[in-house]
Amino acid sequence: MKRSRFTTGLIATLLLCNMAYAQKYPHLAETPPMGWSSWNIFQVSIDENTIKEVADAMVTSGLCEAGYTYLNLDDGWQATQRDESGNLQADSEKFPSGIKSLIDYIHYKGLKFGIYSCAGPQTCAGYPGSRGYEYQDARQFANWGVDFLKYDWCHTKNIVAQEAYSTMSKALEAAKRPILFSMCEWGQNEPWKWGKEIAHMWRTTGDIWLSFNDTIQPFAFKTYSVLQIIDLQHGLRHYAGPGHWNDLDMLEVGNGLTENEDRAHFTMWCMLASPLILGNDVRQMSESTKKILLNTEVIDIDQDPLCIPGFRHMTDGELEFWFKPLSHDEWAFCILNRSTKEREYIIEWQDFNLYDTIAKKSLNFTDDTYTLRNLWTHKAEGDTQKNKKITIPGNDVILYRLSVK
């Protein structure tokens, strides 16, 4: 029986209504989201002029053109109390023109605007949270023109994570504005197992701190170094994909690590298909920081449309060998040196034949020859017909793009 256009349209509408929030708006995160957040560098010391300067710098530096489109206010933008109607309001000293005016400025610059709230009654910094105000806050965010919501997990004793995040997800749906929903639940309740229908991304660990490999805890709450966060991604790659991503937390590139560590940090976030949310002061970046953050060849690994995170294939002492399947039968091949010492290595390609069960793709160096493109030197380095001798600096990486010859 032939359906009428009305019937077909009605069915499509009903199906859309029955879909979960994140599945209604998968286009918001078809590839891992990219942007900047205020927390790592400024914490709660943020204000209107600083954020406008950051927006200006994101445009003039080329970050926006490279794909970093979200400018996100983290904790500390709020007044200490809601207004007489129960609405969240900005700190009038920090943001005298108000949030709506700031968002208009951000949008005028061609950027998208993100805001922060928390599933508890208070945020991590002690400002009003959204517990009990989810629908009211979601409406206000939508009315302001917010494009991204980071939703934290402080002061949540006796609150069930899946229910709390589902409530805000439904509130965002009711507000009828497509807002990318980022769950910052720290991985405590395995959000990768239930977050796909609720949010577009979810944190897999607690907060990153400015360390490449230290295990010292500098804060009262548990924090993680770059290498610790990488290790905690084991077994999670099959949960990520278009519209739903494992979030390894904001980047510390440009905040004080060595150039080698910054390069390795950025590379591994790309290999694992993490959202790339910058955490440095983009108004004053060194040339080495710019070269890392604006390396579009490496960004392309993160943003590859096949949308499958990479995996560690094997180790050799402190060396780790990672692969990420890419579109067009290409692969990213990364060698991570976790040691502080330089290491020489001879790549015997046949040792790396593999089959990826998630991508359902083989990498066969016995039968196929691949060209090598070094994505950090931007140079071709021959092919895989012969063994290759390489030197990997300490706390650094070598990153190749492999293409069938």
CATH number at residue 318: 2.60.40.1180
Q: Which of 161, 214, 170 is nearest to 191 (CA)?
A: 161
Q: Are residues 291 and 316 in the same domain?
A: no
Q: For residue 55, which of 82, 36, 28, 31 has the smallest C-alpha distance?
A: 36
Of the residues 74, 75, 207, 247, only one is catalytic, namely: 207
Q: Are residues 177 and 89 part of one domain?
A: yes
One-letter amino acid for residue 53 of the chain: E
The pLDDT of residue 217 is 72
| Final residue before a domain boundary, out of 269, 285, 302 | 302
9: in domain: no
pLDDT in tens, 294-348: 999 999 999 999 999 999 999 999 999 999 999 999 999 999 999 999 999 999 9
Separation CA 32–CA 3 (nearest Å): 38
Contact 390, 335 (CB under 8 A): yes
Please check whether residues 273 and 374 belong to one and the same domain. no
* Residue 15 predicted with pLDDT over 50: no
Q: What is the pTM of this model?
A: 0.94
> Do residue 323 and residue 346 come from a single domain?
yes
Q: What is the pLDDT of residue 222?
A: 86
Angle, CA 75 vertex, CA 69 and CA 78 arms, to 5°: 105
Q: What residues have CB less than 8 Å from 183, skipping those under 6 apart? A: 151, 165, 191, 195, 198, 199, 201, 202, 203
Under DSSP, the state recorded for 350 is G
Active site residue 351: no
Helix or strand (DSSP H, E) at 313: strand 311-316
What pLDDT does 19 receive?
Answer: 66
Q: What percent of the chain has pLDDT over 70?
A: 95
Q: Place 6 in a pLDDT band, splitting at 50, 70 and 90.
A: very low
Answer yes or no: is pLDDT of 112 > 60: yes
How many separate domains does the chain show?
A: 2
Q: Specify the higher pLDDT residue, 251 or 1.
A: 251
Please report which confidence band the pLDDT of residue 5 belongs to, taking 50, 70 and 90 as the band edges.
very low
Q: Residue 221 — pLDDT band, cuts 50, 70, 90?
A: confident
For residues 260 and 328, membership in a common domain is answered with no
pLDDT tens for residues 120-161? 999 999 999 999 999 999 999 999 999 999 999 999 999 999
> Within this chain, do residues 190 and 336 fall inside the same structural domain, yes or no?
no
Same domain membership, residue 263 and residue 142: yes
Say if residue 166 is in the same domain as residue 58. Answer: yes
Is residue 152 part of the annotated active site? The answer reads yes
Number of other residues whose CB lies within 10 A of the CB of residue 373 = 18
Domain limits for position 285: 19-302
pLDDT higher than 90, residue 9: no
- Considering 74, 137, 152, 396, which one is annotated as catalytic? 152
Q: Which pLDDT belongs to residue 2?
A: 45
